């Protein structure tokens, strides 16, 4: 298993460059790589005990593969595979597939690393690969959005580096476990970096623009897996160290409400999906112990939603209400929205039940409010007018259907991870929440058009917000 | 003293990113900030001594910790490649926005 892990983690980088040298094979190689990752994830899931690797000495690279990682790796493999299938006939160059697979590899690296420097390197490679993918269309707007993303992520990572050396100074090791003996400022600096990278709470305000202005497949990748690279280390640290978990849970609850309150009043479909991503990341952090399963279901459903939102004739919900959409596309939207709303039959239901089970009563109330908000948000997509395909003007690419089939099929199959969720009480609660969510939609959301300000999404405010976040974190760790 | 100066460098860079209007200056400010971070690593490495850690027969006295130096070398390379990438992006943007004022660019390209 040791050599298998090392081979698997280096393979994507090799495959990426080979794909660039042999452009005819690029898609096949990339798809093959995701298959390898998926089978590795399944293999790791069946291992009885977590695998820990210390390469070199105690200050070398530390890797750790546990059940939590395998869920994240599986998410990464499925989402990347779906994106490659979606792009199959779109004439993307070998460069695109190379970057996709390098991104895939570095995201995998984040999901198994257990020391701060490997994490730093992996996160920076993700930053660069994501920059190149976002700026792939080479338009001025795409370049600006990508530049803004790189600015924010690099500044956050500089703070993170300062935190990492403080951890090293305290116990001569970069391993995650060393955070226990580190001074509070180290914790605050590292968390700030990861919160920004993961798009959590106020630090996640950069996310809506980046995710909504990217091309459809890139948005699906970013929202489906890339943001989880900030969340995963936080969840892992919450499980490894005591004293950290309450802070993480608090951030999870705050993020869940924060994201959904934006998404509720958004009129742009892609922005709404991006804001809902922020909220869903909160769900993962609120219960770090079972976050892996939630990340899997969210990654699958969010990429399916982004891919179908990119196929809609318009991004504006008001316009979509005027013009009926194709029925086949509407069915896909309804199925995906049902899963994210937690309708029984879909894995979203099982993962929500599992997350809620581990929370304290007062936290459960907050999460239920966020769930109802999510349901009301996605009711906007469910209740769109639709009609039988009348004109053959807009034909949907076959790649889209294959990708959606893969994602939704995986969502149904993922129920198998937690079949115990299907009790009468759980189903009743879920149906009650859906009823109240739809009520909120018809009574409030549908009637009110609220335009929330976007000042806080300017580059300077985002960077300035980091210093505020740092103060808040320092204060939380100190207390 | 040295530590205070290093933190001043980091803060200078950070405020530069916020307050400088020109995109080019913002990138340079980010470089200043990363210089500060690199200096901090070097300083922590030299806490116990400053002699280059090379194995030899003679004991040269207290030597510098090689681990932070090795680590920061990676970070320098990454930082440098990111800078290069950003400069290419700015170069492309400057064709249509010769003043490179970040506010203007933001206003133009945000929907």
Domain boundaries, chain B: 2-109
User: Cα separation of A25 and A325, whole Å?
Assistant: 36
Tokens standing for B78? 């990454």
In the CATH scheme, what is the code of domain B2-109? Answer: 1.10.287
Q: What are phi and psi of B22, to 5 degrees?
A: -80, 135
What CA–CA distance (Å, rounded) separates A335 from A148?
Answer: 34
Min distance B60 CA to chain A CA atoms (Å): 22
Q: Beta-carbon neighbour count of residue A357 at 10 Å?
A: 14
User: Are the CB atoms for A115 and A175 separated by under 8 Å?
Assistant: yes
Q: Give the pairing type, strands A51-54 and A62-65.
A: antiparallel
- The nearest CA of chain A is from the CA of B29 a distance in Å of 10
Q: What is the pLDDT of residues A371-421, one digit of tens each?
A: 999 999 999 999 999 888 765 556 788 899 999 999 999 999 999 988 988
Please list the pLDDT of chain A residue by residue as tens digits (479 residues): 889 999 999 999 999 999 999 999 999 999 999 999 999 999 999 888 888 888 877 677 889 999 999 999 999 999 999 999 999 988 899 999 999 999 999 999 999 999 999 999 999 999 999 999 999 999 999 999 999 999 999 999 999 999 999 999 998 889 998 888 889 999 999 999 999 999 998 899 999 999 999 999 999 999 999 999 999 999 999 998 888 889 999 999 999 999 999 999 888 999 999 999 999 999 999 999 999 999 999 999 999 999 999 988 888 988 888 888 888 899 999 999 999 999 998 999 999 999 999 899 999 999 999 999 999 999 999 999 988 876 555 678 889 999 999 999 999 999 998 898 899 999 999 999 999 999 999 998 888 888 888 888 899 999 999 999 999 999 998 87
Across the interface, whether the CB atoms of A140 and B109 are under 8 A apart is answered yes
Chain B hits for A463, CB-CB cut-off 8 Å, are 14, 17-18
- Beta carbons within 10 angstroms of residue A4's beta carbon: 12
User: What ipTM does the predicted assembly reach?
Assistant: 0.96
Q: Which residues in chain B are closer than 8 Å to A154, comparing Cβ atoms?
A: 30, 79, 82
Q: Which of B26, B37, B81 sits opposite A161 (nearest CB)?
A: B37
Q: How far apart are CA B13 and CA B10, in angstroms?
A: 5
Establish if A52 touches chain B: CB-CB under 8 angstroms. Answer: no
- Determine whether the interchain pair A141/B109 forms a contact, defined as Cβ–Cβ distance below 8 Å: yes
Centroid of chain to Cα A271: 15
Chain B environment of A165 (Cβ under 8 Å): 40-41, 44, 68
Measure the CA–CA gap between A157 and A194, rounded to whole angstroms: 8
C-alpha dihedral, A32 to A410 to A126 to A248, nearest 10°: -150
The burial of B1, by beta-carbon neighbours within 10 Å (0-12 exposed, 13-18 middle, 19 or more buried), is given as exposed
In angstroms, the CA A131 to CA B86 distance is: 9
A127 touching chain B per CB within 8 A: yes
Residues facing A342 on adjacent strands: none
> Quick one: which of A264, A260, A267, A266 has its CA closest to A281?
A260
Number of helices followed by number of strands (H, E) in chain A: 20, 4
What chain B residue is nearest to A163 in terms of C-alpha separation? B37
* Interchain contact A176–B (C-beta under 8 A): no
Whether this model's pTM surpasses 0.90: yes
* Cβ count within 10 A of residue B7: 14
- Closest C-alpha among A104, A85, A100 to residue A136: A100
Of A138, A209, A459, the CB nearest to B102: A459
Looking at the complex, report in whole angstroms how far the Cα of residue B42 sits from the nearest Cα belonging to chain A: 10
Tell me which chain A residues have a C-beta less than 8 angstroms from the C-beta of B90: 147
């Amino acid at each position: 298993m040791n050599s298998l892990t090392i081979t698997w983690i280096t393979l994507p980088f090799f495959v990426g460059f080979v794909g660039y040298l042999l452009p005819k094979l690029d898609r096949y190689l990339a798809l093959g790589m995701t298959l390898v990752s998926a089978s590795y994830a399944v293999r790791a899931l069946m291992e009885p005990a977590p695998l820990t690797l210390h390469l070199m000495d105690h200050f070398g690279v530390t890797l750790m593969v546990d059940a939590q990682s395998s869920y994240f790796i599986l998410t990464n493999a499925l989402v990347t595979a779906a994106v490659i299938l979606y792009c199959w006939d779109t004439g993307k160059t070998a460069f695109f597939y190379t970057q996709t697979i390098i991104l895939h590899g570095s995201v995998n690296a984040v999901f198994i690393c257990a020391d701060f420097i490997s994490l730093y390197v992996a996160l920076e490679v993700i930053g660069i690969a994501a920059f190149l993918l976002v700026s792939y269309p080479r338009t001025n707007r795409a370049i600006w959005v990508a530049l803004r993303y790189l600015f924010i992520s690099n500044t956050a990572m500089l703070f993170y580096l300062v935190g990492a050396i403080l951890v090293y100074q305290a116990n001569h090791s970069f391993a995650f476990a060393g955070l226990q003996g580190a001074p509070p400022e180290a914790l605050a600096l590292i968390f700030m970096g990861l919160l920004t990278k993961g798009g959590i709470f106020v630090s996640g305000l950069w996310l809506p623009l980046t995710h909504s202005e990217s091309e459809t497949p890139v948005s699906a990748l970013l929202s489906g897996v890339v943001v989880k690279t900030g969340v995963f280390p936080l969840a892992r640290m919450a499980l490894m160290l005591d004293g950290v978990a309450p802070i993480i849970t608090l951030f999870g609850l705050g993020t869940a409400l924060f994201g959904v309150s934006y998404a509720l009043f958004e009129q742009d479909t892609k922005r709404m999906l991006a804001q809902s991503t922020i909220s869903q990341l909160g769900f993962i952090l609120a219960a770090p112990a079972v976050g892996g399963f939630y990340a899997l279901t969210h990654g699958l459903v969010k990429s399916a939603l982004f891919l179908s939102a990119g196929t809609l004739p318009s991004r504006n919900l008001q316009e979509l209400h005027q013009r009926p959409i194709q029925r086949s596309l509407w069915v896909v939207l309804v199925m995906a929205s049902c899963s994210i709303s937690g309708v029984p039959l879909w894995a979203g239901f099982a993962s929500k039940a599992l997350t809620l089970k581990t929370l304290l009563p007062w936290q459960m109330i907050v999460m239920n409010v966020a769930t109802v908000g999510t349901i009301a948000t996605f009711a906007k997509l469910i209740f769109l007018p639709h009609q039988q395909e009348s004109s053959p003007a807009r034909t949907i690419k076959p790649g889209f259907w294959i990708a959606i089939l893969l994602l939704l099929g995986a969502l149904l199959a993922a129920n198998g991870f937690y079949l115990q969720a299907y009790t009468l009480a759980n189903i009743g609660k879920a149906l009650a929440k859906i009823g109240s969510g739809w009520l909120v939609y018809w009574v409030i959301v549908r009637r009110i058009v609220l335009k929330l300000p976007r000042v806080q999404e300017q580059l300077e405010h985002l960077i300035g917000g980091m210093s505020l976040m740092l103060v808040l974190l320092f204060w939380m760790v100190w207390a | 003293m040295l530590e205070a100066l290093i933190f001043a460098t980091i803060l200078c860079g950070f405020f530069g990113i916020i307050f400088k209007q020109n995109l080019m200056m913002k990138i340079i400010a980010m470089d200043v900030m990363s210089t500060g971070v690199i200096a901090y690593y070097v300083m922590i490495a030299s806490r116990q001594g400053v002699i280059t850690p090379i194995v030899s027969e003679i004991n040269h006295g207290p030597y510098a910790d090689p681990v932070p130096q090795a680590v920061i070398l990676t970070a320098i390379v990454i930082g440098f490649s990111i800078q290069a990438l950003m400069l290419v992006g700015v170069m492309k943007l400057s064709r249509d926005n010769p003043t490179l004022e970040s506010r203007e660019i933001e206003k133009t390209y945000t929907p």
